[in-house]
Structure 1
Amino acid sequence: MGIAKPLILVAGATGNQGGAVVDALLGRPERWRVRALTRDPAGAAARALAGRGVEVVPGDMADAASLARAMAGVHGVFGVQNSRTAGLKGEVEQGVTLVDAAKAAGVEHFVYASVGGAERVRGIPHFDTKWEIEQRLWATGMPATVLRPTTFTDVFTFRGAGIGLGMMAAALGPAKPLQMIAVRDIGVFARMAFERPETFAGQAVELAGDELTVPQIAAVLRSAGRPGRYPRLPRVVLRAMGKESRMLFWFGESGYRADIPALRALHPGLLTLEAWLAAGGGVRKAA
């Protein structure tokens, strides 16, 4: 009998980033087995994963007992949390519980999806939560990699994206660029981290595949046949948003600092916004 392939537990496997990690790992069937953690193993998303050969297990990132069961025999864990669904306190609880469970289970490599700039800025609520989880992860001494994605390319094609572009334009002005990453590439880097621990373990890597000003973003969208118009908003509109505007102003003051040429050397297929759109990014597929 052959040696069993290492098993990776993907927490958040039915979400965008977790789903991208599943896709990337399934792209190397000779190397990895994939286990997906979900609160609803009977749901359509979980059943679709099972149909692709993923082992689906029930569990909750805030429930240590269910995590202990899910981590039996696991080599590595990918973790991501969402403050929009869990709330800020819930995000931290989920992240810390997952990290502690992985440590207790003797997991050999933990890959955590944080956010670009988490180590450089305070006062952005969903950055602060991820920084807190990062600190807990490093404190365990467990072999780990932190991936810090920048703005997702998807945000430029969501419903109401024009308003978002208008707010970015107000914060950034016409010349300050914004870095961005296709979610697919987050999955690729997570897989690379598991495959190359000698390179990635102990590292925090900011991720971006493109860097464009807001007018350039709008032009790329229009050239791809997508809506690229946005309103001209005064900065006072952003100030009225309170804490929610802190991230936008940070984009203009400092912002992301991913080393895109170095990342492309590691992953030559890293997508630009134009390439992501050309590949069908942002187009909803029929279920």
Structure 2
Amino acid sequence: MEAETARPLILVTGATGNQGGAVVDALLEQPGRWRVRALSRDPSRATALAARGVEVVAGDMADAGSLKQALTGVDGVFGVQNSRTAGLDGEIRQGVTLVDAAQAAGVRHFVYTSVGGAERVRGIPHFDTKWEIEQHLRATGLPATVLRPTTFTEVFTMRGAGIGLGMMAAGLGPAKPLQMIAVRDIGVFARLAFEQPDDFTGRALELAGDELTVPQIAAALKAAGRPARYPRLPKLVLRAMGKEARMLFWFGESGYRADIPSLRALHPGLLTLEAWLSGRSDRLGRE
């Protein structure tokens, strides 16, 4: 029992979702190194995690009272929120409440996943919320690492991906590249942060494993036997979308700036789009 409790205990939020699930996977790839606790509003939906040896606890990131027990004895926290399910104000409330609860519990390392460019651009609603949470985290003085993922490679194989690629083409044009990251690799970087707190605490890392133009993305999809056609949309279609198009125009104006060679030095297995397409396991649909 003493050896068991000596292993660091990591609380993972969003563990039944894409990013949180990737963090759980990365931690469990090192058997005997970590104890993993998953926060879930409905533990009955996390039976697959429990079967893998993850401790599943009930809790709501917006409810400080429910987080107190979940954070008992925790060494590190992985925090992720989803504005699509919580709403923009709800995302901020969840993020701030989790950070404050972690600080009160004496957590030694908080890893927060934000979004690439959050510190550089305003007016993209789901970037602004994450920047607000980042600022609150920084103000608390809690030892922390911020991960800022770029576009997920997974979006290129989701239902309706052709329309999304067409909108990206309208914002980027044919020659400007888009940076992207496999969700699996976000989990690996989170694990690296927990493994090497002296090197990662206080850092904010923009994450990407590849950088391709839209035509190059389509070519990679076609080579992998995936649907690769996308509509040629005029920019006026994007303008009609209002605030939701701000991100697409930003892709063309400035966009992501991850230092991919430096990231690959930290994580040599960092996936390109081609590598991800050739070796992916179909686990889409997790929120």
- Which TM-score applies when normalising by structure 2? 0.97
Matches of 2:212 and 2:124 in 1, distance apart?
22
Partner of 2:125: 125
The correspondence for 2:30, drawn from 28, 31, 41, is 28
Partner of 1:101: 101
The correspondence for 1:12, drawn from 6, 9, 14, is 14
Shift of 1:146: 0.2
> Conserved in 1, the CA contact under 8 Å of 2:92 and 2:130?
yes
Secondary structure, in 3 states, of the residue corresponding to 1:175?
coil
> Conserved in 2, the CA contact under 8 Å of 1:9 and 1:77?
yes
Partner of 1:77: 77
Matches of 1:283 and 1:36 in 2, distance apart?
18
Where in structure 1 are there 5+ consecutive unaligned residues?
none
Q: Percent identity?
A: 81
Partner of 1:68: 68
> Conserved in 2, the CA contact under 8 Å of 1:21 and 1:191?
yes
Letter in 2 for 1:72: T
Instruction: Give deviations 1:224-260, integer Å, cap 9, x for gaps.
Output: 0000000100000000000000000000000000000
Secondary structure, in 3 states, of the residue corresponding to 2:110?
strand
Is 1:228 the equivalent of 2:189? no
Letter in 2 for 1:224: A
Is 1:237 the equivalent of 2:259? no
Letter in 1 for 2:279: A
> Conserved in 2, the CA contact under 8 Å of 1:179 and 1:258?
yes
> Conserved in 1, the CA contact under 8 Å of 2:154 and 2:284?
no
Secondary structure, in 3 states, of the residue corresponding to 2:211?
strand
> Conserved in 2, the CA contact under 8 Å of 1:81 and 1:94?
yes
Instruction: Give deviations 1:60-79, integer Å, cap 9, x for gaps.
Output: 00010110110000000000
Matches of 1:171 and 1:281 in 2, distance apart?
30
> Conserved in 2, the CA contact under 8 Å of 1:181 and 1:271?
yes
Matches of 1:122 and 1:29 in 2, distance apart?
41
Is 1:153 the equivalent of 2:149? no
Shift of 1:281: 4.9
Ranges of 4+ aligned residues in structure 1 off by more than 6 Å: none
Is 1:194 the equivalent of 2:191? no
Count of residues paired in the alignment: 283
Where in structure 2 are there 5+ consecutive unaligned residues?
none
> Conserved in 2, the CA contact under 8 Å of 1:154 and 1:281?
no
Matches of 1:282 and 1:258 in 2, distance apart?
26
Secondary structure, in 3 states, of the residue corresponding to 1:117?
coil
Secondary structure, in 3 states, of the residue corresponding to 2:6?
coil
Shift of 1:187: 0.1
Partner of 1:49: 49
Matches of 1:29 and 1:106 in 2, distance apart?
25
Matches of 1:172 and 1:272 in 2, distance apart?
20
